Structure 1
Amino acid sequence: MKNIDSKKNIWIFHHYATPPSMNGFTRPFDFGIKLKDYNYSTTIFAASYLHFAEQNLIEDETLYIEEDSSGLPFVFINTPGYAGSGKKRILNMLTYFRKLFKVSKEYEKTHEKPDLIIASSPHPLTMIAGIKIAKRYGIPCICEVRDFWPEVFFMGDKLKKDSIIGKILLKGEHWIYKNADGIIFLKEGDVQYLTDEGWSKPSGGDVDLSKCYYINNGVDIEKFNDQMDSEVLEDKDLKSDKFKIVYAGAIRPVNNVDNILDTANLLKEYKDIEFLIYGQGNMLEHLKRRLENENISNVKLKGYVDKRYIPYILSNSSINLLNYSQTQYNWSRGNSSNKLFEYMASGKPIISTVKMGYSPIEKYNCGLSLEGSSAKSLKDTILKIYNMPKDEYIQMGENGKKGAREFDYIELTKKLKNVIEKHINNNS
């Protein structure tokens, strides 16, 4: 048995994790780097096929590769690509799940065994693997729930809750919550889901709520501020004197970017208001056609930009726009988007097209949320900030910067460290 004061090894299973130099989710990296300050050694197990870059890091039959140029060891497991194919994406998930068992065993032969595993969704197979592999080592597994699968499919009408497949998926999901040693939810209201499903002990179920924790996504404020000053994007539109509405993110149906163009059409008479859209996705060509066919001249599609430029872009906006579909996601439990906290750190007012529960925007008075997500409602809200007295406008931005400190990864890592220590010590 290890001395609890010696260096502890954490394995994080996260399908889409990458270091900052690659295009993916950096939450595991952000935690792993800061956990070093608490004498933790973190290894991240991810898939070789990078979802957002549509690139595979392994082109042969190699089982896995190790990458540590970022200062944190990554293990990329050989998984097939899918490039927009739903069936191939499912195969990718199944392959990652299946190979996790073999890769973890092979990796452990030349490295120290883990003291704790953190297994992250969205897809539940990763959490199932985490629980089973942790049991093999006799160590705790903490499951991190980023999205509720299969709820997202129920909401999108892709699957019926009372169907055979729906019932099987719910049964598997329940098994995860029951067997995980700890559960980290990313949104403040997520724990209510267990009660809504009748799985929590207070509602007659078998899941102990005392093992549930809330640790949101966030922002590395020191890095954000450094990049804001040092990573300058040469973009004449950002430097213009116009009132700039910035959207930075994916361009997919769930992001409802069509609504931005509808709103821009309603604001054509305001020659000093301009919309700048940064990002890529399967709706981009559709938007380009709309701009041309409808002669929308107050919207600029900027395409993909490296994430290191995001702090500069956001800090040079007039309003940063959180643009979502109200119907394709359950916003009542909160928002765990990194984007929200980057928007707050930028010091510019925020508009959210959805009314979310547990909203930092309302808590810190750093922006406005729409009651309804129509183009007219968005137009009216933009004009409310556009016509706002200067001192009130500046204060709204400063409120966001102040609120972002609560979601700095320094503070979030302290919470994670406490959860990890509790479960490692209980297992000693």
Structure 2
Amino acid sequence: MKKKNIWLWNHYATDMYQNRGGRHYWFAKNLIKNGYNTTIFCANVRHNTGDVIDIEEGIYSTDTRDNIPFVFIKTPKYKGNGKKRILNMISFYKNLFPVAKEYSKKHGKPDIILASSVHPLTLVAGIKIAKKFNIPCICEVRDLWPEAIFAFNKVKENSLLGKVLVSGEHWIYKKADALIFTKEGDTDYIKEKKWDLFQGGVINLKKAYYINNGVDLDAFIKSSNLNILDDPDLEAKKFNVVYVGAIRPVNDVGKILNVALRLKDHKDIQFLIYGDGDQRKMLEQRVMVEGLTNVKIKGFVNKRFIPYILSKSSVNILNYSQNQYNWARGNSSNKLFEYMASGKPIISTVKMGYSIIDKYKCGIEIENASGDDLARAILDIKEMPKTQYDQLGQNARVGAKEFDFKVLTKKLIQVIDCVTEENK
């Protein structure tokens, strides 16, 4: 049987190339193991860094990493989220068309395209180019645009631009041969819009699938043993409350400092914050002014050290703002599954819909968590009997196995097979 050629499109997979890991990197690795020829297409400019993959001639270059072919599409450099980033998105979209044509002449056309957001232009290109090739396109929606834009008040939903964005989103959902959502409740959005067939719309929910983010468990365990971070605080005989991730308004990391202030008399508890973002300096100033000796803001850390850091935690914090995101549809954050893989209890400062923490009984979710609520949850886990504490960790590992990318790739193959069969 002829191997299927799968093209995975993710504008920002350049980061996965550099880190040797990430959703589409792990999908590609496992698809290749399952007999598929798989290629990742991404921009040559790495998001949020000054890194650029050089393209000496033309508008794309190629490289292979860990047997995964990568195609880097030429885009302009940018910083932040302003006009230059939008130009970068548009450039990626426009250049996908000639690159797809030229690459297919050299390497054969794909049997299927999986086009992944964040931004919707990649999905639009996937649908249009798949039509030219007379093949199906799977659109993977990892963030509900434009809802996320509306939530942050960057654009008003009732504005002309807002209506254009919603109309474009509807077109994508209608034209895609299949839809993959990363949160279990994301199809509720289609129902809320009354776009589904049952309510007189044109979108058949039978073509909508759920494949969350996850973790490469083998790589995680290997990294926790090999990539050891020299950090004395991790080795201290203390109850380590660990947060790993961005330090931005949506993550509301200042709440952790509020809790540290409440628990400052518990000398055996320390708060370790790993990550960076536009609120980091403000929080470092607070630590100094408020004399929070039980808080260590570590700053950016290479992703390869995250498994080791989490192996030294006592409890991991999923800390989010209550009002800057719609948590009713679930959670697809990468760190949730890294936390689970570490086998340590988790505390979430928001109550999630379709809750994975509740499903696997691996921690505590707090609805509308105040600083006092979070402090109480930390003490509850610290003071619980060892057998109960250990059970939370074991439950987390059980859940992580179900979100291992070997399992998630099997789900993706089922989608590929269904779409292929329907388009014969």
1:125 pairs, out of 121, 124, 139, with 121
Q: Could you tell which deviates more after superposition, 128-137 or 276-285?
A: 276-285
Task: Report the counterpart of residue 101 of structure 2 in structure 1.
Answer: 105
Task: Report the counterpart of residue 241 of structure 1 in structure 2.
Answer: 237
Report how many aligned residue pairs link the two structures.
424
Show the 5 A alignment for 1:301-320.
301-320=297-316
Distance 1:132 1:173 in 2: 14
Contact persistence 2:48–2:79 (CA under 8 A): no
Task: Report the counterpart of residue 165 of structure 1 in structure 2.
Answer: 161
1:96 pairs, out of 88, 92, 103, with 92
Task: Report the counterpart of residue 410 of structure 1 in structure 2.
Answer: 406
How many Å apart are 1:20 and its aligned residue?
A: 4.6
Distance 2:192 2:206 in 1: 17
Q: Could you tell which deviates more after superposition, 38-47 or 54-63?
A: 54-63
Task: Report the counterpart of residue 391 of structure 2 in structure 1.
Answer: 395
Residue 192 (1) aligns with residue 193 (2): no
Distance 1:130 1:79 in 2: 17
How many Å apart are 1:12 and its aligned residue?
A: 1.0
Residue 259 (1) aligns with residue 270 (2): no
Task: Report the counterpart of residue 208 of structure 2 in structure 1.
Answer: 212
How many Å apart are 1:373 and its aligned residue?
A: 2.7
- For residue 49 of structure 1, give the secondary structure of its aligned residue in structure 2: coil
Task: Report the counterpart of residue 217 of structure 2 in structure 1.
Answer: 221
- For residue 122 of structure 2, give the secondary structure of its aligned residue in structure 1: helix
Runs (5+) with no aligned partner, structure 2: none
1:292 pairs, out of 279, 288, 291, with 288
Task: Compute the TM-score of the two structures, normalised by the length of structure 2.
Answer: 0.97
Distance 1:80 1:129 in 2: 18
How many Å apart are 1:69 and its aligned residue?
A: 2.6
Distance 1:18 1:180 in 2: 25
Q: Counterpart of 2:312 in structure 1: which amino acid?
A: N
How many Å apart are 1:374 and its aligned residue?
A: 2.1
Residue 381 (1) aligns with residue 377 (2): yes
Q: Could you tell which deviates more after superposition, 287-296 or 128-137?
A: 287-296
CA offset digits 1:115-153 (Å, max 9, x no partner): 000001111111000000000100000000001111012
How many Å apart are 1:347 and its aligned residue?
A: 0.7
Q: Could you tell which deviates more after superposition, 134-143 or 218-227?
A: 218-227
- For residue 276 of structure 1, give the secondary structure of its aligned residue in structure 2: strand
Residue 336 (1) aligns with residue 332 (2): yes
Task: Compute the TM-score of the two structures, normalised by the length of structure 1.
Answer: 0.96
Q: Counterpart of 2:310 in structure 1: which amino acid?
A: L
Distance 1:416 1:348 in 2: 28
Task: Report the counterpart of residue 150 of structure 1 in structure 2.
Answer: 146
Q: Counterpart of 2:165 in structure 1: which amino acid?
A: L
Contact persistence 1:262–1:375 (CA under 8 A): yes
Q: Counterpart of 1:158 in structure 2: which amino acid?
A: K
Task: Report the counterpart of residue 354 of structure 1 in structure 2.
Answer: 350
How many Å apart are 1:323 and its aligned residue?
A: 0.9
Contact persistence 1:17–1:24 (CA under 8 A): no
Distance 2:26 2:409 in 1: 9
- For residue 193 of structure 1, give the secondary structure of its aligned residue in structure 2: helix
Residue 66 (1) aligns with residue 62 (2): yes
